[in-house]
Amino acid sequence: MNDFFNRGPALGLRLVLAIACSVGLMFVDRYTESATQIRSLLTSAVGPLFYAASLPESLIAGASEQLMSQQQLLSENAQLKDRLLQQDVQLQLLSFLQQENDKLRALLGSAPVVQGQRLIAEVLAVYSHPFSHQVVLNKGSNDGVSVHQPIIDEKGVVGQIVSVGPTSSRALLISDNTHAISVRAERTGVRTVAEGLGQWDMLRVIHLPLSTDIREGDRLLTSGLDGRFPEGYPVAEVIQVIKDASQPFMTVHARPYASLDRIRHVLILWPGSQVEAVRQAEEEN
């Protein structure tokens, strides 16, 4: 057995080397600033793998679209037209309200809310490992995506971009264990923080004193105080409030509005301030 691994170091030594390298990597990734760059580099390196892995699914989806009957297509088309009409009507009202809101804000002397830019991205891969809730999107730095941009879907906030490659990017979901988001209760205006638990359908609302007015069914919106997420997007609905007098804080759980387990398309947002900064930079040039 002595000449078992006659090329290179012995097995035990190899293990020690591998463990030392891993621990070094963990340290660099977790506790240093350069991790984001390394991550972005690696994300771009493995980008093609994600495209290859989602190929079967997109082929099946394409085939099933081909095989859809005309009847189905027509009825779907009619439905979509109906919905478009309804939403157009609501939009008319919205633009009026927005104008009014801007005027009122001007009267109050506060800065108007700047409508940001948006980009639709498709989800290439969902990695639902319990220890990391992340998705890979098919838009990258070539489309102008950058780190820390918020992403939303039609129902609510989904997460934020954490690393960017040229054609793909990786987003951390609000349900991830390492994610926290600053929120405000719509009914009472209580500001708090909702952090992920590693479960798709639950967030934990933390540091709420026992006397806080919060109850089941309260809507939690982004407060904009974290500087990442623009103000006013729906995040989660409170589903459970446990008051235990022996604990310093209440235990409050909330369910995210966005269906994080089955997202297909998301919107990447450019918060207003960033857009303004870009515009200013353009004007200066």
Partner 1 sequence: MRPAQGIGFIYLSLLAALLLTVTPVPFQFNLFRPDWVLLVLMYWTLALPRRVNIGTAFLMGLLTDVLVGTVLGVNALAFSVVSFVVAVNHLKIRNFSVIQQSLLMGLMLALYQLLLFWLSHFLTGVNFRPAYLWPVLTGMIVWPWLFWLLRRYRRQLKIQ
Contact between 22 and partner 1 per CB under 8 A = yes
Which of 33, 34, 42, 271 lies at the binding interface for partner 1 (CB under 8 A)? Answer: 42
Which of 34, 56, 109, 245 lies at the binding interface for partner 1 (CB under 8 A)? Answer: 56
Assign 3-class secondary structure to 120-187: EEEEEEEEEECCEEEEEECCCHHHCCCCCCEEECCCCEEEEEEEECCCCEEEEECCCCCCEEEEEECC
Task: Quote the least distance from Cβ 122 to partner 1, whole Å.
Answer: 11
Task: Quote the least distance from Cβ 15 to partner 1, whole Å.
Answer: 5
What are the φ and ψ backbone dihedral angles of 8, each rounded to 5 degrees? 80, -175
How far is CA 178 from each of CA 61, 119, 160, 174, 191, rounded to the nearest angstrom?
Answer: 33, 25, 12, 9, 20
Contact between 23 and partner 1 per CB under 8 A = yes
For residues 20, 26, 31 and 33, what is the CA-based torsion angle, rounded to 10 degrees? 110
Contact between 131 and partner 1 per CB under 8 A = yes
**Contact positions with partner 1 (CB under 8 A) in 191-210:** 197-198, 200
Q: How many of the chain's residues bind partner 1 (CB under 8 A)?
A: 51
Nearest to partner 1 of 7, 90 (CB atom) = 7
Contact between 132 and partner 1 per CB under 8 A = yes
**Contact positions with partner 1 (CB under 8 A) in 233-272:** 261-262
Q: How far is CA 29 from the centre of its chain?
A: 21
Which of 32, 37, 57, 86 lies at the binding interface for partner 1 (CB under 8 A)? Answer: 57
What are the φ and ψ backbone dihedral angles of 275, each rounded to 5 degrees? -60, -45
Nearest to partner 1 of 30, 281 (CB atom) = 30
Which of 32, 34, 40, 43 lies at the binding interface for partner 1 (CB under 8 A)? Answer: 43
Q: How far apart are CA 148 and CA 138, in angstroms?
A: 16
CB 208 within 8 A of CB 188: no
Q: How far apart are CA 220 and CA 184, in angstroms?
A: 5
Which of 50, 233, 257, 270 lies at the binding interface for partner 1 (CB under 8 A)? Answer: 50
Question: Which residues of this chain interact with partner 1, rule CB under 8 A?
Answer: 4-6, 8, 11-12, 14-15, 17-19, 21-26, 28-30, 35, 38-39, 42-43, 45-46, 49-50, 52-54, 56-57, 125-132, 134, 170, 177-178, 197-198, 200, 261-262
